[in-house]
Chain A
Amino acid sequence: MTDGKKIPGAISIRHVSKIYDPEGVHVEAMRDCTFDIAAGEFAIVVGPSGCGKTTLLNAVAGFDTITGGEIYLDDELISSTRYQIKPNVDRMVVFQNGALFPWKTVIQNITYGPIVQRKMSKAEAYAKAREMLELVCLNGLEDKYPEELSSGVQRRVEILRALINEPRVVMLDEPFRGLDAVAKTVMHEFLMQLFCATPRTMFFITHDLDEAIFLGNKVVIMTTRPAQIKKIVTVDLPWPRQHRVMNTKQYIDLKQEVLEAVHEEARKAFEAGEREMA
């Protein structure tokens, strides 16, 4: 997988906090989060619902400002309290509910990035897109509109749309949420195939712990709100992974470790909710 070339895409998150509406409602979403993602690493972020995972993603992607700390991409400052680089191709996001343009066909969606950035001519972009679709066995769908496709296919097209731009970091916000277990296995295979072919920094948010350990090599566990980093678990399983790895002792131990940490936080979040109603 690693071939000695220096891959870009190292993320450094340093003491980042985010408070929404400081003068008004004052919601503290993140407090003093610090961790690193090495270039080419597949990092997964897990935590209880509503804890602030998406807030973190928004901060790194440049969608939202932060109220404390700094974020670096390859040692360049991309976000701080006074400075923020607007969203760009370096940090590509795949959205939770899907953001394929419904008014464009599959191939128009995929080629949108390269064409609009003037990196490729229309013919070149179309050829590359067709190549990528062929690679993952999705050819034949070029002229369909997203609404005509199943969610699993839509997801994969959206990931292709992101990857064709060769971003430094790919950020995925629970991309496979709502897909059934069978479809998910296909998605995992798909993502892993692409990742192994061209390693790229991945920032992947999910609730599904199996998905987290199966896909990632670093699992970052966040606490309930205000979000902090509870624990970072390194997943040392060899690549490429197959589903039978889920039965190995190493996997089961890792899962137990992650599960206990997440469960503790989920408990706290749940109790906080319950206290409100009492």
Chain B
Amino acid sequence: MSDKTKPAFFKTALFRALLGIVLFLIVWYLLTAVLKLPRFRMLPNPLSVVKEWTSFHPVSGRSIFTLPYYMDIVYSVARVLAAFSLATLLGVSLGLMMGWRRIFYDFTFPLVEIFRPMPPISWIPLAVLILPGIEVPVVYVTFIAAFFATVLNTLLGVLSIDKNYFLAARCLGSRPIDVFRNVVVPGALPFIFTGLQISMGIAWLSLVAGEIIAGQKGLGYAIYEGYSLFQFDQVVYYMFTLGILGYISSAGIRAVGRRLMAWEARRRGM
């Protein structure tokens, strides 16, 4: 009776995903605008959020048609990019060295392990006090967060490489630098890229905290400002903006990873 080659649209994954979103929006709307349950009374409802987000004259002065919105985005994105790039550069280098050479690991691991458990956000007071200006502390805190995550994942990546590859490379006459370029780096790449996605997420997290506590301008700062000015619609659509940017940056990293690791892609038959 039902056509086996093409399932009804109602049963596809896409439909269900959309249905899930729609249901969520409906429930949200009901709870905030219609039923006005006690807790939910203060929260903005989806319609007003969308209205503000797309209005030409938003109450808060920030919507997709106004410049300040994009300025906020640019500030935040620039900070994340700066911190993330530095963290990747230093973190991957350190992680590779620690994984490859035991002596290096012995020297650096205890120091790293003392600083790594300190939540990046706890660095904010010290950073603001010591480092010059406003931008540098915020970027620094974001950097620290992404840095340690990257180091750890890179280290694990190197340690995960099957020892036989090293032995085979030696038999084939490699010098240490050849082993590094041909075994250590490609072997750790999958872990490194997973780590980069994680550290990107962590970078955004720390950035927002940094902006709220110590920054000026930027999405995090605007969220808190919106809250203190009772502009809750703005708060919500700024949250979604963060979500979208976070998703795009992770997807970007994944795409770069797929290109660099062509052998993984082919293995999964993509």
Q: List chain A positions with a Cβ less than 8 A from chain B.
A: 61, 63, 86-89, 91-93, 95, 97, 99, 101-104, 112-113, 116-117, 145, 147-148, 161-162, 165
Sorted nearest first, the 9 A-B pairs with minimum C-beta distance are A103-B186, A113-B172, A117-B173, A99-B168, A147-B267, A99-B164, A87-B170, A145-B263, A89-B173
- Which residue in B168, B173, B263 is a CB contact (below 8 Å) of A88? B173
Q: Which residues of A contact B187 (CB under 8 A)?
A: 103
CA distance A86 to B149 in the complex (A): 35
What 0/1 readout, one digit per residue, does chain B (164-176) give for beta carbons within 8 Å of chain A? 1101111111110
Given contacts A103-B187, A116-B182, contact A147 B172 (CB under 8 A): no
Can you name the residue of chain B whose Cβ is closest to the Cβ of A173? B164
Q: Is the CB of A116 within 8 A of B172?
A: yes
Interface centre among B169, B171, B175, B182, by most A CB within 10 Å? Answer: B171
Q: Could you name 26 residue pairs across A and B whose Cβ atoms are closer than 8 Å?
A: A63-B167, A88-B170, A88-B173, A89-B171, A89-B173, A91-B171, A93-B167, A93-B168, A95-B168, A99-B162, A99-B165, A99-B168, A101-B186, A102-B267, A103-B187, A103-B261, A103-B263, A113-B172, A113-B173, A116-B173, A116-B174, A116-B175, A116-B182, A117-B173, A145-B267, A148-B267
CA distance A87 to B179 in the complex (A): 13
Q: Is the CB of B173 within 8 A of A147?
A: no
Q: Which residues of A contact B261 (CB under 8 A)?
A: 103
CA distance A103 to B190 in the complex (A): 11
Given contacts A147-B263, A147-B266, contact A161 B172 (CB under 8 A): yes
Q: Which residues of B contact A102 (CB under 8 A)?
A: 263, 267
- Which residue in B175, B183, B266 is a CB contact (below 8 Å) of A101? B183
- Which residue in B167, B174, B175, B262 is a CB contact (below 8 Å) of A95? B167
B189 within 8 A of A: yes
